[in-house]
Each structure stands twice: as C-alpha cells, then as structure tokens.
Amino acid sequence: MLKKNLYILFIIILFNNIANAQLDAPNLINTFSSNPCNPSLSFGAVNGANKYEIQISTDASFLVDVYVDYSETLPYILPLLKFETEYFLKARAINNTDTSDWSNTISRITVPRGYVVVTINPIGNLIATENTIMCSIERWWEIDTIATFDSPLLLRDTTYEENYIVINAPFYFCSNNYVRAKCITELDTAPSWSYHQWNYINIPCSPTLVSPNNFNFTNSISNLKIERYDQPLRYVFELDTTLAFTNPREFEIAETDNSDIVSVGDFYFEKQHYWRARAINSIDTSDWSSVFTFSMCGVHQILPLNQATNISTNASISVLSIGNIIGYIFELDTVPDFSSNLYMQYETPNSAVNLQNLLFGTTYYWRVRAYHSLDTSNYTPVRSFTTVTAPALISPEDLSANQNLKINLKAEFLSGITKYQYQLSQNPEFLPEQTETLEHSNYANMVQTDLLKFNTKYYWRTRYINENDTSIWSSVFSFETLVKPQLIEPSNQATQVAINNTKLYWQNIQHINSYTIWISTTPDFNEYEEYLQIFYGNIMYLNNLLPNTTYYWKVKVTSAIDESEWSDTWSFTTENTTKADLFNIDYKLQIFPNPSNNDFYVKLTLPNYQNAEIKIAGLNGHLQSIIPITNETTTIPTKGWKPGVYICNLFVDGELVKVEKLVYE
C-alpha cells in the first residue's frame, strides 16, 4: 500500500513540473513581403502554445510606435503598412500558464512605389496596369513623351477602384510614351512615382515595308505591302523611277481601311521603280520609310526562234505574256528596216499573232513592243524566219520497190495550205504528155493514184498552194511497182504433202482482177492444169493428187490494164500412200489401146469386183472422172477430153494399189 501511494505522488509531481515548464520562443523567418498591402508573417508553431503575441514597431527597441496584436492561427496577416518604412517584428507564445520569451526580431523596409505594366490595344490606346499595390484606394497616373514628365504634352488622370487605366495618348511618330503611377492606401500615400524606364511604348518613326523588293515583274500591276501600326492611320505611298522621287505617283490607304496593301499598276517598261510609304494621323506625320525597289520587264520574243527555217506560211509569232497591259504592236516585213510594200502591222491585246498565207521560201523580219496607258516599251530586237520552200515527201519512200498498183502519195502536212498538188510520171523530166496531176485539199493528208502497171518505175513530186502563193516543186522520189507475186505455201520442195485438201497459198495483191495458177508434174509445164481465181482468191485447195509425185506450180496476176510476170516456180512432193504390199497381190492392170484417140479399155481380174474403182486425173492432179469396176473389162469413156497425158489410179477398198499413164491423142 505504501508503494502505491508513493507512485501516485510521483505522477502528481511530474505533471506539475510539465505544466509549469517554460514555453519555447517562436523562431521567425524573415520572409514577409515588402508590399505594404497586408503581408503575412510565417513561423513554426510552438508546442503547448494557445496563441501568439506579435509586436510591430518602427523602433528596433520596441519602445515607441508599437503595434500589438494576437493571433491563434498561423501564418499571421499583418495590418496595412506605410510606404518606404522599416518595420521590426517579434512574437512570443502564450498558453494558460506560461508565456515564452520573445522571438528573434526580423525587419523589412516597405516599397516606396508601385509597379506599372503598359501595353497597347488593337485600336491604339495605351493600357497601364498597376499590379503591385493591390490595396490602393486611389491611383494617380501621368503619361508623357519624355521621361522627366514635364513636357507640354503631359497627361494626368486618377482612378479609384480600378488598378488600370486606358489612355488615349497622342500618337506622335518617332516618340516614346512614358507612364507612371502613385498609389494611395487607407494608411499612406506612396512617396515616389512608379519606375518609368520599363513602362513606355515606342512608336517607330516610319512604317515598315514588306514587299516587293528586288523583284523583276512580268506583270504591270502589283500590291505594295507594309507592316501597319497598331492603330488606325492613313498611309501614303510614293512610286517613282528615280531614287530622289522627283516626280512620284501617289497611292493611299484610307484611315478607315485596315488593309496593309495598296494596288499599283502601269509600271514603266524596262525601268527600275522605287517606292516608300509614310503614316499620317490628325496630329502628326511619320518619316518616310526605307526605300524598296523593283523592276519592270520589257518585251521578250518566244517563237519562231531567230533565223528559223522551214516555217509554215501560217506561222504564229509570239512574245512572253505581260500581265495587265493594253496590248502589243507586232511589225512584219520582208526587209529588216520594215520599209517594203509588204509591211504589215498587227495591234492586238494578245501576246501572239497568227499569220496567214505568207509567201513560200521567203525571209520575214519581225519585232514587237507593248503599251499601256502610261508607257510604250521599246521594240524588241529584230528577228527573222524563212518560210518553207517546198514540201518534204513522206511516202512512198524514195527508191522503194514492189509497190501496190495504187499508191497513196503523201507529203508533209503544213497548216494553212489550201491545196497539195502532185505530179506522177514514168519520165523523170515530167513531160506533160507522160505526167498525171493529182491534188488534195487541206482536209485530206494524201492522194491515191490511178491503177498503175506492173514492174514499172514511176517518179513523183509535190508542191504547196495557198491563197497568195505556190511553192516550187519538191525533190523527186521514185518507186517501182510489183513485178510478180510471191508464193507462200507449201514451202518450195516440201515433201510428204497430203494428196487431198492440199492448200496452195500466195501473196495477196490489191487492185487486180484475177490470179492465174498453173499446176504440172513437169518443171517445163509442157502439160499443165490452169486455174483462174478472182482477185480475193489467193488460196486454193487440191484433192486426189497422185501419191509420191512431184508437182510444180506458179502464179501470175492480171489487172484491168496489165499483167504481171509469172512468179517463181515452186515444187512439192506428195506422200506415198500406196499399200498394195499389204495385200501381197500383184494386180495385173492392162489398158488398151494406149495411146488412143477414142475410149480406153481396162482389163483386170478381181474377186467379186467389190470395192474397186478407177480414178482418172490430169497431170495437174485435177480429177477427170471416177469409174467403178464391176467386170473383168471396164470402159473408160473419153468424150470431152483434151489431148494429153492422164493418170489412171486403181483404188481397192479405198487404198491406191496401182497407177498407169494414159495418152489421149
């Protein structure tokens, strides 16, 4: 029991000692602002403190002019202070039983003035903002064009609740507008004006030019562009061809116009131009800007190139187009001083002139100048060109061979030609009685001859005709017509050619009447078969040819006025289709009389005389007749036959087994 009482006594003594312990003094950090508008005081909270006593004085010993206040919360907001005054601050902690020692003392001198920012709005007003002394109840403002604020242009104003002012300051060029303010609070008036060296707007002495500069124009109108001031002003531009601006043209942007360009036209040809600008308001005129420069082109020829040749008699002469002028004056003549009776002048708004019906083989000279309402350019240098002398021939090419019986004569097309005239002759001198004249207009590009002869050399030439002149004749070309047709199929000396449906194929030739074909088993064509094919029939088929036989063939062509030579003779050999050895039979075929000038008789013994027949063919393979065998003796009638050699072919069961010759006289 004694121990328990001693423990309780110890706790009571300890609690009393803690309750009577000394509070720590606050530790002030010198962070309070020099702005007199209720700055805050920050320091760390003291353990055990219920509130804090703060003393503020202008006396470092806190003996006079002491302001005392209490605060239960941190940070502590100071009262309104005076301008340009040094204040000392200290604090101590307090609870119900104790008061700490005073803290360390801190101090700060308040500002003597406010801080002003100046801007300019889009309509040219100055906007001054006091953004430091926010507790001011009144602000005095001054604006002047000099930093001493004592010029005759000094402006003053006062605001009360607003911390800014909009000042319609006089807009004097090449000047500064300085702004300052003085603040009044409920406690004090700032002893000094705000600083002004940062608070001014610089107004340039002259506008800034943008474009054009150092540019060569091919257009007689352009926009002169400037960089505007930030308020409505009138701008005057001067444009001259001398740097001294002795006789300038003037242009203007009105004060009510917010544009930054002025459109200028009618530049002087081949001259340097200079331009500048200045701004004007009701109270002042700016200096002239710096000078920009540009040049205007002259007239430059394009086509034809100088001394060009073979130019069409409907040529076009042209220059590089110049924009926004009235027009051009083109001059054309056959002499370089433009003094002949063929002189022509064309005045046109276009940069090209289409000439018509010039003389053939003639040299022309031309030049151009341009003009607008203020100026006329110099003439261009004199250029020349020479018109085409005679046509160039295209087809048929010179010395060409094997040409068709009707030829398309074609010369080089040239614009503006009314008529193309051709001469065609077998005589290189083009004697009138041996020469044919052909023509076509500019709506066609060639002319076709009449029917020509085979294997003949022809000469041709052309000339141009327009409404004013006729060219000389062109150079002379020659060509030779087809000599003979060419054979194609079967190839020469082909073998194993089928005896039926054998195709003969040769060159197709236009503008003819017919083909004549000879076919024979002898190369000298002593005996032959003749066929006529119409003009589109360059293919024929043969049937029932003799097996293992060489045939010879050739073709010639006939037109309405002439006949070609025979083609080369080609040959082919038919396949061997005899199969008598398969039957192992020696067929005894007797023909009598042979030769004969009447009917022939065939004697042959066959079992039952079944599936046997005789086919009679000419030497050219043409089938003459087919006679079935039904008896030992068979008659071959010859009525209507032409004298000659014929082939007697014996077929058994569709197979050729025996061949004999017949001579009919």
∠631-637-642 over CA atoms, to 5°?
A: 150
Query: Which of the residue ranges 396-410, 420-434, 609-623 would you say has the lowest mean pLDDT?
Result: 609-623
pLDDT band for position 283 (50/70/90)? confident
Query: What pLDDT was estimated at residue 197?
Result: 66
pLDDT band for position 607 (50/70/90)? low
| Cα dihedral 397/399/404/409 (nearest 10) | 40
**What mean pLDDT, rounded, does the chain reach?**
89
| CB distance 287 to 174 below 8 Å | yes
End-to-end CA distance of the chain: 183
644 Ramachandran zone, left/alpha/beta (phi>0; psi -120 to 50)? left
Containing 613, the helix (H) or strand (E) segment is strand 612-618
Q: Is residue 275 predicted with pLDDT exceeding 70?
A: yes
Average pLDDT over residues 223-242: 94
Strands 623-628 and 612-618: antiparallel
Query: What pLDDT was estimated at residue 123?
Result: 57
Average pLDDT over residues 341-345: 96
Q: Is residue 198 predicted with pLDDT exceeding 90?
A: no
Domains, the chain, in order of start with CATH, read 24-111 (2.60.40.10), 116-203 (2.60.40.10), 208-296 (2.60.40.10), 308-387 (2.60.40.10), 393-481 (2.60.40.10), 487-574 (2.60.40.10), 580-664 (2.60.40.10)
Q: How far is CA 470 from CA 4, 389, 462, in A?
A: 153, 10, 11
| CB distance 78 to 56 below 8 Å | yes
Query: What pLDDT was estimated at residue 578?
Result: 57
Containing 7, the helix (H) or strand (E) segment is helix 2-19
Average pLDDT over residues 144-168: 86
Query: What pLDDT was estimated at residue 132?
Result: 80
Q: Is residue 655 predicted with pLDDT exceeding 60?
A: yes
| CB distance 642 to 527 below 8 Å | no
Q: How far is CA 191 from CA 107, 111, 183, 240, 583, in A?
A: 20, 9, 9, 57, 152
Token pair in block for residue 306: 């100088």
Average pLDDT over residues 482-503: 94
Distant-in-sequence, close-in-space partners of 640: CB < 8 Å, separation ≥ 6: none
pLDDT band for position 165 (50/70/90)? confident
| CB distance 102 to 90 below 8 Å | yes
| CB distance 80 to 187 below 8 Å | yes
- What is the per-residue DSSP string for 435-461? EEEEEEETT-S-EE--PPPTT-EEEEE
Query: What pLDDT was estimated at residue 121?
Result: 67
Tens-digit pLDDT profile for residues 292-336: 999 999 999 999 999 999 999 999 999 999 999 999 999 999 999
130-139, 470-479, 644-653 — which one is most confidently predicted on average? Answer: 470-479
Q: Between residues 147 and 124, which one has the greater pLDDT?
A: 147
Share of the chain above pLDDT 90, in %: 65
Average pLDDT over residues 47-65: 94
Q: Is residue 11 predicted with pLDDT exceeding 50?
A: no
3-state secondary structure of 5: helix
pTM of the model: 0.63
Q: Is residue 586 predicted with pLDDT exceeding 70?
A: no
Q: How far is CA 545 from CA 195, 264, 647, in A?
A: 130, 98, 10
Rounded CA-CA distance 494/482 in Å is 26
Query: Which of the residue ranges 48-62, 118-132, 299-313, 598-612 would you say has the lowest mean pLDDT?
Result: 118-132
Query: What pLDDT was estimated at residue 392?
Result: 96
Query: What pLDDT was estimated at residue 580?
Result: 44
Tens-digit pLDDT profile for residues 403-430: 999 999 999 999 889 999 999 999 999 9
Q: Which of 156, 167, 159 lies closest to 118 in space, CA to CA?
A: 167
pLDDT band for position 7 (50/70/90)? very low
